[in-house]
Chain A
Amino acid sequence: MLVPILKQEDFLIASIQGELSDVELLALRDQLVDKVQRHRSRAVIIDVAVLDIMDSFSARTLRSIAQMTRLMGAETIVVGIQPEVAMSMVQLGLRLEGTTIAMDLEDGLAVLKNRGSQGNDACDRA
């Protein structure tokens, strides 16, 4: 299943639409890394709200997306982890180091907005 990647201002939004196979997850990673460079994006939001399973491979792929985009200057924000998924991730011992987590897409956008205004504040103060 293809994951649509939307470009909004200086960030990207990838909304996962259904369960992804390993190959599809890796394709998403490659696409995101490519688009971050092409659009000079500052952040990537990955919406995982439809996922009802997060296993070690998906968690690892999300972490590697975050690490790769960070090396290119963009932050990765994972949004929409469902409560059951959170519970099984903790039992499984999965972490998403290096990624920012937000409740949902709206919350993720708010995180980015805050970052932006904080940046401006710093300029105002300077």
Chain B
Amino acid sequence: MTPVIERETALPIKSDLDVLKARQQGKELAAALRFTNTELTIIATAISEIARNTVLYAKTGCLQLKVINQDQRRGLLIIIKDHGPGIADLDLAMQDGYSTSRGLGIGLPGARRLMDEFDISSEVGKGTTITMTKWERTKL
């Protein structure tokens, strides 16, 4: 079943200030769902990691936040798209401790651990898209 989008918002990611805005907005939107405080923090942290990744490697990107309802379960869907250089070796980029910049190499694999679903696709020279979801623990 395709998910129903209940609410959505999008914001550009261009600087470290946008990373702050992104995680605050994510938290606000997620607060409308039945998440615990810890889950809200976890969601905001995951957004922070992927948004920073975009600023570091692609310079600019677009973040979409969607409250979705699928199969009587609600969740927060987070999509970040950029038209940056892309990632040549995704398996390597998703390894803990791998980094080509000033990062820790923990961002992407860390975000994957924090979320319920995580998907990354990338094409060198075209850009990268990360899609991740956190579901409410209980069905409606």
Give the B-binding residues of A (Cβ under 8 A).
Answer: 19, 21-23, 52-57, 59-60, 82-85, 87-88, 91-94
Cβ–Cβ < 8 Å partners of B113 in chain A: 91-93
Cβ–Cβ < 8 Å partners of B104 in chain A: 56-57, 59-60
B17, closest chain A residue (CB)? A21
Which of B20, B24, B27, B103: most chain A CB closer than 10 A?
A: B20
Residue B69 at the chain A interface, CB threshold 8 Å: no
Cβ–Cβ < 8 Å partners of B65 in chain A: none
Bound form: Cα–Cα A21–B52 in Å: 11
- Assess whether A56 is in contact with B20, with CB atoms less than 8 Å apart: no
Q: Mark B99-140, 1 if CB is under 8 A from A, else 0.
A: 000011011011001100000000000000000000000000
Give the A-binding residues of B (Cβ under 8 A).
Answer: 16-17, 19-20, 23-24, 27, 37-38, 40-42, 44-45, 48-49, 52, 96, 103-104, 106-107, 109-110, 113-114
- Assess whether B24 is in contact with A19, with CB atoms less than 8 Å apart: yes
Given A53-B45, A56-B107, also A84-B38 (CB < 8 A):
yes
Bound form: Cα–Cα A60–B16 in Å: 15
Interface of A is mostly: helix
Q: What would 17 more interface pairs be, CB under 8 Å, given A21-B17, A52-B27? A: A21-B19, A22-B16, A23-B16, A52-B41, A53-B23, A53-B48, A56-B103, A56-B104, A56-B106, A84-B38, A87-B42, A88-B38, A88-B45, A92-B49, A92-B114, A93-B110, A94-B106
A22, closest chain B residue (CB)? B16
Bound form: Cα–Cα A52–B39 in Å: 12
Cβ–Cβ < 8 Å partners of A52 in chain B: 27, 41, 44
Cβ–Cβ < 8 Å partners of B52 in chain A: 22, 55-57
